[in-house]
Structure 1
Amino acid sequence: MVLDADIKSQLKQYLQLLENDIVLKVSISSDDTSKDMLALVDELASMSTKISVEHTQLPKTPSFSVNSVGEDTGITFAGVPLGHEFTSLVLALLQVSGRPPKLDQKLIDQIKHISGEYHFETYVSLSCNNCPDVVQALNMMSVLNPNITHTMIDGAAFKEEVESKNIMAVPAVYLNGEFFNGGRITLEELLEKMGHGVDASELSEKEPFDVLVIGGGPAGASAAIYAARKGIRTGIVAERFGGQVLDTMSIENFISVKRTEGPKLVANLEAHVKDYDIDVMSSQRAKRIEKKDLFELELENGAILESKSIIISTGARWRNIGVPGEQEFKNNGVAYCPHCDGPLFEGKDVAVIGGGNSGIEAAIDLAGIVKHVTVLEFAPELKADEVLQERLYSLPNVTVLKNVQTQEITGTDSVNGITYMERDTEEVKHIELQGVFVQIGLVPNTEWLEGTIERNRIGEIIVDKQGSTNVPGLFAAGDCTDSAYNQIIISMGSGATAALGAFDYLIRH
């Protein structure tokens, strides 16, 4: 039995929603993954009379495809889709059976009208919390358009393939055999990258907003909801809804919720936003703001949006260490998400740069997967909470180097080591390893605002207690501001503050 009792109980409820018969076509051999896969599909078939199993030969073994009766839908799972990918399997079963995906009709029409052949493959790790969004988006596209196929590939089940393609970060998407995208990508971004995104002229034709929010993280979502509740015309422009929270595995300090995960919280945020009359424009990147009679926001695609007020909540991103080799080996040994990419370094030696909470949490997580972890901290002492340090020092396969400065990440096609200097003696040393995880904090996404509003020396937008910037009508909230602390709950509060401040501004003007 592959599924435990609790999962089977939940699954039975979902399988009752199947609308038409489906066929699971299985291609297996004698390996352990094949045995687990066969056990899984047999269990699924035993739980619903609408599911049948056929044995066949697919391009990859072990794998199985999910099909309508008499029709191949193009959805294949190469590997056993458990862990974070179990939801991808459940959704594929429902959607192939005829249950419509939860998408705006405009997106559905965009996908249905795509012509040409698109054969996608996505390499994942089952512990990756970024991967399911990509897998589910491509699966939905396969269901809606017969010209599109998608295969999810578990890197652990196809190690030789992963190594031959030098894949060191997931999700890694290939299109028609060529590398297409690395990292999280939304359905809207996929369409944009395929040349089927929203036309800039369509965006420019929108009526002016009362409040236009730039950014879709906790601050942006909160701001938009608070603005919409005032009954005023509200829009959100977001490069990706959820922001940094999407890359957060465990959240245990969101008051009233004992524990949740970033993607789950983001899904709840997005659902809450959609409860209101908010115009959400995803996969759009802001380029410039200019104040005329109204504020004009120019997007990277050339579209111009107008609004009476604007709330900037563009958040922050991982800070780069800024040494030779970092950019050259990004996704080829240099990584920023231990939850996503950690399993790809199983049995290898890695380094974690950064001794704060995020760095030490990363080192602890990685120690359970990799052969050895070396932590490099610039300061004389670690900055992480004491409880995390105690846990770290209890691990047998972790070395902590304090008061050291990283100088170079070395390698040829991928990372093969790291060079650092001991700050007290200035002695330079080198460690051979295969991966480097950079965990040295965040940098605000505000470079595009140069010369527009007042920022501090590290680029954070300076705001007052109403969330107002030095430009009347222009507000800011969340991690892109000079807030004393970067926390989800604080960002949500600042988003609400900025929305209320914007509403007061509109009343007075």
Structure 2
Amino acid sequence: MLDANLKGQLKAYLANIRQPIELVASLDDAPKSHELARLLEDIAALAPEMISVLREGDKRSPSFMIRRVGTDIGVRFAGIPMGHEFTSLVLALLQVGGHPSKAAQDLIEQVKGLDGDFHFETYFSLSCQNCPDVVQALNLMSVLNPRVSHVAIDGGLFPDEVAERKVMAVPTIFLNGEPFGQGRMELEQIVAKLDSGAVTRAAEKIATKEPFEVLIVGGGPAGAAAAIYTARKGIRTGVAAERFGGQVLDTMGIENFISVSHTEGPKLAAQLESHVRDYEVDIMNLQRADTLIPAAREGGLHEVVLENGASLKAKTVILSTGARWRQMGVPGEDQYRNKGVAYCPHCDGPLFKGKRVAVIGGGNSGVEAAIDLAGLVSHVTLIEFDSQMRADAVLQRKLYSLPNVTVLLSALTTEVHGDGEKVNGLSYRDRTTDETHLVELEGIFVQIGLVPNTEWLKDVIGLSPRGEIEVDQRGHTSIPGIFAAGDCTIVPFKQIVIAMGEGSKAGLSAFDYLIRLTPAQEAEAERESIAA
């Protein structure tokens, strides 16, 4: 199961196990059970003095529990956690084995203090880059709190169960048998949903913060770069982010990040956050901005009101709120989101194995999605609004070579159909004949570009007709002391490396603005800061 190189790396990690653990396997005669048995034996052989393998029945096979010897502390995997979930397996081995987590201590105490019995089940796919965060968070919770348990289930190995529970997107989380959440969730988010007082306490904590010299709204590549550049200048920097890493967290393979031939979104996001934390930057995660109140005078304090009611003040603000997947905006889309309408082919594609699906969009992302899905599903229909696709020629040639792909040009999706529980078709209008057609299918993957996260700035700051923040070559917005960078701005070509450069530029511009304030403006700002 494990090659020599991987065994060497894993053996080094397993040396950190402090308490003996047992791998309790539930196996049958299927090939996947034999595969799992070999994996568990490989792991145990790397640390025989600390790891043993046992057999014990469970309702799901193949599955196994990692259990601390002599206790009920443990986590269960139903399936074989390789691919993106191999890291989840390694962390579970270490944490059940007594190796301490790197999570913030106050968050660890919050998990330990949860009152109630919580049995979680998470459905994942091995190709899903969003799933490991959920699996790892819930595994850690089950190690820290004896009243929490967790089973991570590979949906591809248990299709009947997936169909019965109507799982059509991953990760999908059930709590005590009832739906709890879908999509990427970090430990803080899960705990906040369980701890009703968490939001109030976070707002109270934020309310006590003194004004920043620069406040960055958004924690993607642009925001992270801006934070590093301002912190290195020695000015007091804060970052308020809905989720640190931004849309990078939803990105699969990254092969155009200069000097790094290949990486993955979650890995890059973790590296960004780690780099920012090397400096004295106040990171406020899970904070969504609601209102921007510009300073009454130049050099005064700007205010950002958060969704939880708290507010932050700063001499300068850098807006780096990024963008999100654009939706079709047709009847049925909202009703069947995560019930057949999906936005991540890498994550959810395996759930549609052998089924008929559509991809909406003929750009690079849409054509790449169609190519990937064609290897899993029975048929792909690609629907493009324009009379020609915009994807790179090499991608188009590959797409047209596939026998189970149909391309529809000059086609406008008009409605998503379903049976009340899941998608069963879509309608589109042929823009050349004005005729409407119905396509029967089980899944729709929307890949039609991005929309900036700037609705909260409407009528406050200068926006383009597309809703992007208007900036000059230095990142200045229409309001003195407020800057912007990244995918939320008019700067063309929405790329990670460009966002980082624009964030760096905005950080330097904010610093330049601060040092050029007149003594009178500085004095006024100081008085406002004291009053705040």
The 8 Å contact of residues 407 and 420 in structure 1, kept in 2 or not, is answered as yes
Q: What does 1:63-462 align with in structure 2 at a 5 Å threshold?
A: 63-195=63-195, 197-198=198-199, 199=201, 200-292=203-295, 293-412=300-419, 413-462=421-470
Give the equivalent residue in structure 1 for 2:485: 477
Question: CA–CA distance in 2 between the matches of 1:132 and 1:444?
Answer: 27
Mapped pair 1:494 → 2:493: no
Aligned equivalents of 2:161, 2:74: Cα separation in 1: 21
**Deviation readout 1:152-178 (Å, 9 max, x if unpaired):** 000011111100111110000111111
Quote the offset at 1:119 in angstroms. Answer: 1.1
Cα distance, 1:109 vs. partner?
1.7
Provide the rounded CA distance (Å) in 2 between the counterparts of 1:76 and 1:280: 33
**SS of the residue 1:361 aligns to:** helix
Residue type matched to 1:363 in 2?
A
Shift of 1:83: 0.9
Deviations 1:310-367 (A, max 9, x none): 1110100000111111111100000000000000000011000100011001001111
CA deviations 1:395-437 (Å, max 9, x no partner) are 1111111111111111112111111111111111111111000
In the aligned structure 1, how far is the partner of 2:182 from the partner of 2:468?
A: 28
2:473 to 449, 465, 472: 465
Asked if structure 2 preserves the Cα contact closer than 8 Å seen for 1:186 and 1:283, the reply is no
What are the superposed Cα offsets for residues 418-473 of structure 1, whole Å, 9 maximum, x if unpaired? 11111111111111111000000000000011221010111000011111111111
Does the 8 Å contact 2:68/2:74 carry over to 1? no
In structure 2, distance between residues paired with 1:467 and 1:38: 57
Structure-2 separation of matches of 1:332 and 1:356: 24
Structure 2: which amino acid aligns with 1:429?
Answer: H
What letter matches 2:19 in structure 1? N
Quote the offset at 1:102 in angstroms.
1.0
Contact 1:405 1:423 in 2 (8 A): yes
Q: CA deviation at 1:281?
A: 0.9
> Take 2:3 and 2:343, find their aligned partners in 1: how far apart are those partners?
33
Question: 2:26 matched to which residue of 1?
Answer: 27
CA distance in 2, matches of 1:47, 1:74: 20
Deviates more, 1:19-28 or 1:373-382: 19-28
Secondary structure of 2:179's partner? strand
Deviation per CA, 1:215-267, whole angstroms, max 9, x where unpaired?
11100110111111111111111111111111111111111111111111111
Cα distance per residue 1:165-207 (max 9 Å; x no partner): 1111000011111100110011111111112535111111112
| 1:106 partner SS | helix
Is contact 1:62-1:78 (8 Å) kept?
A: yes
Taking the aligned partners of 2:248 and 2:227, their CA distance within structure 1 comes to 17
Give the letter aligned to residue 15 of structure 1.
Answer: L
Superposition deviation, residue 59 in structure 1: 4.6
Q: Shift in Å at residue 298 of structure 1?
A: 1.1
For the Cα contact (< 8 Å) 2:114–2:195, is it kept in 1?
no
Q: What SS does the corresponding residue of 1:156 show, helix, strand or coil?
A: helix
Distance in 1 between residues matched to 2:254 and 2:428, nearest whole Å: 33
If the length of structure 2 is used for normalisation, what is the TM-score?
0.94
Whole-angstrom CA distance in 1 between matches of 2:143 and 2:195: 19
SS of the residue 2:427 aligns to: strand
Whether contact under 8 Å (2:74, 2:96) holds in the other structure is no
Distance 2:242 2:169 in 1: 21
Which letter does structure 2 place at the counterpart of 1:455?
Answer: L
Aligned to 1:6: 5
Q: Which amino acid aligns with 2:104?
A: D
- Percent identity of the aligned residues? 58
Matched residue type, 2:33 = S
1:300: how far off?
Answer: 0.8
1:108 Cα offset (Å): 1.5
More displaced stretch, 315-324 vs 291-300: 291-300
Quote the RMSD (CA, aligned, Å): 1.2
1:494 CA displacement: 0.5
TM-score, normalised relative to structure 1 = 0.98
Which deviates more from structure 2 when the two are superposed, residues 277-286 or residues 8-17? 8-17
Native 8 Å contact 1:171 1:182 kept in 2: yes
Q: CA deviation at 1:499?
A: 0.6
* 1:12-51 equivalences in 2 (<5 Å): 12-49=11-48, 50-51=50-51
Deviation at 1:151, TM superposition (A): 0.9
Instruction: Single out whichever of 245-254 and 487-496 deviates more from structure 2.
Output: 245-254
**In structure 1, C-alpha distance between the alignment counterparts of 2:58 and 2:73, rounded to whole Å:** 14
Once residues 506 and 188 of structure 1 are traced to their aligned partners in structure 2, the CA distance between those partners, rounded to angstroms, is: 34
1:305 is aligned with what amino acid?
Answer: L
Gaps of 5+ in 2: 518-532
